[in-house]
Structures are given as C-alpha cells and as structure tokens.
Amino acid sequence: MITYLIIDDEYIAHDIIKGYCNMLPNMQLAKHCYDALEALDYLREHQVDLMFLDLNMPKLKGFEFLKTLVSPPKVIVTTAYQEYALEGYELNIVDYLLKPFSFERFLKAIQKAVEVKPSETKSITKESKKAQNHIFIYEDKKYIQVQIKYILYIEAAGNYVKVITTKEQLLTREKISDLLQRLSKENFIQVHKSYVVSKSHIEIIEGNRIKIKDSYIPIGKTYKTNVNDLLG
C-alpha cells in the first residue's frame, strides 16, 4: 500500500487529486493538509511514501517547507506556477504537474514515483474516460466543474481555450490538445486545428462545416478523415 499526503490550500485540488488516486490500486490517503505547517506537524510523528505538494500557500511556501525536511518522501509538485519548475528538480522532486492537469498526465507522474505497470495505467485510463461525466475547467483562479453532456464545442483562442456549453462560455489558459486528452474520443472529435466538437450535439454536417445550435464550425482539410470516420 502506498500512503500519500495532499498539501494544498485549495479544497477542490484535494478533491481532484484524491479522485484520481481512488482510481489507482494500492493508493491510501494518509491526511489532508491545507498548509505546510500542518503537514510539518503530521510528518514529525508519521511517515508517508508520497506527497502531492502545492507551492503558493500561506504561512510557509511549498519549497521552503520541503527544504526543512531532513528525509522527505517522494514529492510530486502540483501548482499553477510554471516558473518554479527548475528549482523543483534541483530539490529532487519526482514530477512537476502544472494545474490544471489531466488524468493521463497525473498517471505519468505516479508511474515515476511508484511501481505501476504501464498495462495497468492503460486499463485505468480507458475505464476512467468511459465513466467520465465531468471535468474541471480552471478559470479566473478557480476550478469550475463542467458536466460533459453540456459541452457543445471547444475553440482555441490564442493562448486560451473557449469551452462552449449549453449554459455558459468558459475561458481557460490551456492548450486545446491538452484539453482534448482529458476527454473521451467516444464523445468528442477534433474537426479543425482550433475546434473540438461534441459528437452528440452535432446537428448538421454540410460541406466543410458543422452546425451545432446557432454556431457553424469549420472542418479543416487535415481533419476531414475524422469526420468521414464519424459518418461511417
């Protein structure tokens, strides 16, 4: 059994990490810690195999906390700040996950930290996507839970991605390719370098465009094969 500690001041980050860990065999949560001082106090009397560590926390920053540990467990950093990656590797962290991270990216980090067979992770990934009914979108310094069935299409917009749903439009700083990895290919299809659409919300395919609600989505030349496969 692999025991782990989550150290993050965001409650929703705890939910996401624990949810991912629950899909994996032999992962046991030791404690939720919402600041580094709480984790420091816990580690004085307990041992864990792995820590998921946020960096920007009140009272004591993540790397400052890590430097106080004489014999730290394996560490996977989970943060929204890319600029601290080099310092992290100098402190011998296992991996550096940039929020929001996909389940597949999370699995790669776990594989580096613990003994998980590649065949097991492929099976887990397939089953998790099959049962997927929501994802978390990071917008305006918060995570928003979005039901998969409400997503109409996704559009790349410069350094951002627009997620268009039946209820709202969200703007997140994430690559469209990374967001696509978090979605099931059974439900979504890329039809243009800047567009991914929900198969279930396609109303009309006409020429080089797709109609979804009041929007017309272009079909790129290199993605016509994807659409043709959809048409059988």
pLDDT digits (tens, 9 = 90+) for 47-80: 999 999 999 888 889 889 999 998 899 999 998 8
Q: Kindly list the distances between the CA atom of residue 107 and the CA atoms of 29, 128, 215, in Å, as whole numbers in the listed order.
A: 16, 12, 36
Predicted local confidence at residue 127, as pLDDT: 53
Residue 122 has pLDDT above 80, yes or no: no
Phi, psi of 136 (to 5 degrees): -105, 130
Instruction: State residue 53's pLDDT score.
Output: 95
Mean pLDDT of the chain: 87
What does the alpha-carbon distance between residue 38 and residue 36 come to, in Å, rounded to a whole number?
5
- What's the pLDDT band for 23 if we cut at 50, 70, 90? confident
Average the pLDDT over 190-197 and give the result: 95
Domain ranges (residues) in the chain: 2-129, 134-231
Q: Do domains 2-129 and 134-231 have the same CATH topology?
A: no
Residue with the bigger pLDDT between 135 and 196: it is 196
Tell me which architecture the domain covering 134-231 has in CATH: Beta Barrel (2.40)
Instruction: Say which range, 13-22, 101-110, 120-129, has the weakest mean pLDDT.
Output: 120-129
Work out the average pLDDT over 132-140: 81
Q: What was the pLDDT predicted at 86?
A: 74
pLDDT at 121: 47
Which fold would CATH assign to domain 2-129?
A: Rossmann fold (3.40.50)
Which amino acid appears at position 180 of this protein?
A: L
